Amino acid sequence: MFQFETQLQMLRHKVLTSVAKLGKENNLTREAIEKIPHEIVPGDKAIYRCCVYKERAVLLERAERIAGFDEGESSKDLDSEVHEKGDVKDGEQIIYILESACDRCPLNEFTVTESCRGCIAHRCKEACKFGAITYVGGKAYINNELCKACGMCKKACQFDAISEVSRPCRSVCPTAALGFNRDSMKAEIDKNLCVNCGACMNACPFGAISDKSEIASVARKLVTDDNMYAVVAPAIAGQVDTSITYGQIRSAIKKLGFIDMVEAACGADAVTAHESEEFVERMQEGEDYMTNSCCPGFLRYIENVFPDLAGKISNTVSPMVAIGRLIKKEDKDAKVVFIGPCTAKKSEATKENLKDAVDYVLTFEELMALFDAFDVDMAECDDLAIEEASIFGRGFGAAGGLTNAIKNYVAEKDIDVEFKPVQVSGAKDIKKTMMMANRGKAEGNFIEGMMCEGGCINGSGKFFSGNRVKTAFTKKNATSTIKHITDNSSLELFEDLNLDRRHK
């Protein structure tokens, strides 16, 4: 049904689908879980790792963690209204290490290669301020016990003979939360620094990092509960073929057993209005700038790395929370499942003052596994009408989307305020921008930060990646019904809701 970009993605999909099927059948027992690795890797010949036993051990650990098993447990009661121990709601840390899969990548960040000419100038040695470089047999040698990984030797070498080798997971982590166990050399995550952005999960070529999942619980609820609502993030437009319409996505999701699919973009419209008014109020009170709050990874990054700037974060809830609260206002018995590209949303949903809005959070990767588990093909689904959100609300999926929405709202409301936005996405640009802001040199009065490069369309929970995603997202929104935020009559439904993230 799907074309996979890597073998690793295919294996993850197969495990997710298998666990979802067990959840649907209410057969989430240890005996059933232990069969999954043998179904995916039959026979005695290894395909990807050193031996078939290693392959199955990794698949089993992945299946157990997806199912929410703790050591010694034999089954899960998915009919319970209380979230199981080990489920996402049990704690805010979402990203974890699959120890059996970690390949213990080398940690020596700088190494002299065979390209070293043993030159007389010794510029690499002179550039090192820590005495880490000596010469053995006429060639440079780096003592990694003394090396501070500053990179000056690499910059100094005219032959490019010094190689920088670092663990992929560590190199992409925005907060240096990825460490390692000194005994086993396997990766470890510092929960106090991690922002649950999932960048390390995407970067690990061995699939040794994953996110907690509620797919089994959701699959079971879809066949037993009559009040399941799906809230789908705008970035869904980039996760399906360009020929698939929003209406077909809605139809496919309803075939899974949801009462309906609601666009998170409707919540984005409400957030735009609320955040715009908050921005105006702050500027009138003399504040120099405000940041957005819709990206939980960016929000937590500020709280962890620049805690003194936490007061600059908007107090407006995210679109996920806004639309979740609206659904529960209209249906007191509703169970809300947010579906998006973001692993950090799973962490956001656990916060005490926000978890009244959403019951479960799934990624797009998990949604595709559900489609397989329930034998739903989007291409064969009817094209249902869906025109609730504005084009600007749907634009939240890409970097700059929030800025464009606020700019449009301020202009159409003819609000007399100077709006000087700064749009940044990705860890490097965010770090640079927030360092400048921390020094009192913010380049504008509104900072839109998206933790993932390019925005939510490149979130770590996506199913497809690369230029294909941006093309599909842009094309689908370009052909959507053009509706401005101020024309959206559904905004009135949010007026009585609390859209302040500080209070329930």
383-437: pLDDT as tens digits: 988 777 788 888 898 999 999 999 989 988 888 899 999 999 999 999 999 999 9
Q: Where residue 432 sits, what CATH number does that domain have?
A: 3.40.950.10
Neighbours of 367 (CB within 10 A): 26
Q: Is residue 83 part of a domain?
A: yes
Could you give the dihedral angle defined by the CA atoms of residues 350, 9, 103 and 301, in that order, rounded to the nearest 10 degrees?
Answer: -30
31 pLDDT above the threshold of 70 = yes
- The pLDDT value given to residue 83: 42
Q: Is residue 184 part of a domain?
A: no
491 pLDDT above the threshold of 70 = yes
Cα angle 223, 226, 231 (rounded to 5 degrees) comes to 90
Q: Is residue 407 part of a domain?
A: yes
H-helix or E-strand containing 476? helix 467-478
- The whole-angstrom separation of Cα 42 and Cα 182 is 35
My answer on whether 83 and 136 are in the same domain is no
Q: Where residue 138 sits, what CATH number does that domain have?
A: 3.30.70.20
Query: What does DSSP assign to residue 29?
Result: B
pLDDT tens digits, one per residue of 182-195 = 788 899 999 999 99
Mean pLDDT value across residues 62-86: 68
**Range of weakest confidence among 197-206, 238-247, 383-392, 424-433:** 383-392
36 pLDDT above the threshold of 60 = yes
pLDDT band for 141, please (50, 70, 90 cuts). Answer: very high
My answer on whether 367 and 283 are in the same domain is yes
The token pair at 168 is 């992929």
The helix/strand/coil state of 448 is: strand
Q: Is residue 461 part of a domain?
A: yes
pLDDT tens digits, one per residue of 270-299 = 999 999 999 999 999 999 999 999 999 999
- The whole-angstrom separation of Cα 270 and Cα 268 is 5
Overall number of domains in the chain: 3
Phi, psi at 355, each rounded to 5°: -75, 5
- The whole-angstrom separation of Cα 334 and Cα 327 is 7
**Range of weakest confidence among 66-75, 113-122, 274-283, 464-473:** 464-473
Please provide the DSSP assignment of 388-437 as one string.
-S-HHHHGGGSTTHHHHHHHHHHHHTT------EEEEESHHHHHHHHHHH
Could you give the dihedral angle defined by the CA atoms of residues 125, 128, 130 and 135, in that order, rounded to the nearest 10 degrees?
Answer: -20
The domain of 135 spans 110-165
pLDDT band for 18, please (50, 70, 90 cuts). Answer: very high
121 pLDDT above the threshold of 70 = yes
Beta-bridge mates of residue 112: 162
Q: Is residue 212 part of a domain?
A: no
My answer on whether 155 and 251 are in the same domain is no
Could you give the dihedral angle defined by the CA atoms of residues 166, 168, 173 and 176, in that order, rounded to the nearest 10 degrees?
Answer: -30
Q: Is residue 197 part of a domain?
A: no
My answer on whether 352 and 235 are in the same domain is yes
Mean pLDDT over each residue of the chain, to the nearest integer: 90
Q: How, if at all, do strands 95-97 and 209-211 pair?
A: antiparallel
My answer on whether 257 and 364 are in the same domain is yes
pLDDT band for 481, please (50, 70, 90 cuts). Answer: low
My answer on whether 420 and 326 are in the same domain is yes
Q: Which of 116, 141, 144, 146 is nearest to 131 (CA)?
A: 146
**Range of weakest confidence among 23-27, 130-134, 216-220, 410-414:** 410-414
- The pLDDT value given to residue 132: 95
Mean pLDDT value across residues 224-228: 89
Cα angle 299, 300, 305 (rounded to 5 degrees) comes to 110
- The whole-angstrom separation of Cα 269 and Cα 322 is 10
My answer on whether 361 and 452 are in the same domain is yes
Furthest CA-CA distance within the chain? 78
Q: Is residue 418 part of a domain?
A: yes
Q: Is residue 68 part of a domain?
A: yes
- The pLDDT value given to residue 86: 43
Q: Mark which of 142, 165, 188 sits at the end of a domain.
A: 165
Mean pLDDT value across residues 364-371: 97
pLDDT tens digits, one per residue of 97-114 = 999 999 998 776 799 999
Interacting residues of 49 by C-beta distance below 8 A, sequence separation 6+: 55, 58
- The whole-angstrom separation of Cα 26 and Cα 67 is 12
- The whole-angstrom separation of Cα 324 and Cα 359 is 9
My answer on whether 90 and 121 are in the same domain is no
81 pLDDT above the threshold of 50 = no
pLDDT tens digits, one per residue of 153-163 = 999 999 999 99
My answer on whether 153 and 288 are in the same domain is no
Number of DSSP helices (H) and strands (E) in the chain, helices first: 18, 15
Residues 76/68, Cβ–Cβ less than 8 Å: yes
My answer on whether 51 and 160 are in the same domain is no
486 pLDDT above the threshold of 80 = no
Chain-centroid distance, C-alpha 403: 20
My answer on whether 43 and 115 are in the same domain is no
- The pLDDT value given to residue 489: 60
My answer on whether 14 and 122 are in the same domain is no
Which amino acid is present at 154?
A: K
**Residue 47, exposed/middle/buried by CB under 10 A (0-12, 13-18, 19+)?**
exposed
Residues 239/470, Cβ–Cβ less than 8 Å: no
The b/e string for 395-417 (b: 16+ C-beta within 10 A; e otherwise) is bbbbbbbbbbbbbbbbeeeeeee
- The pLDDT value given to residue 466: 67
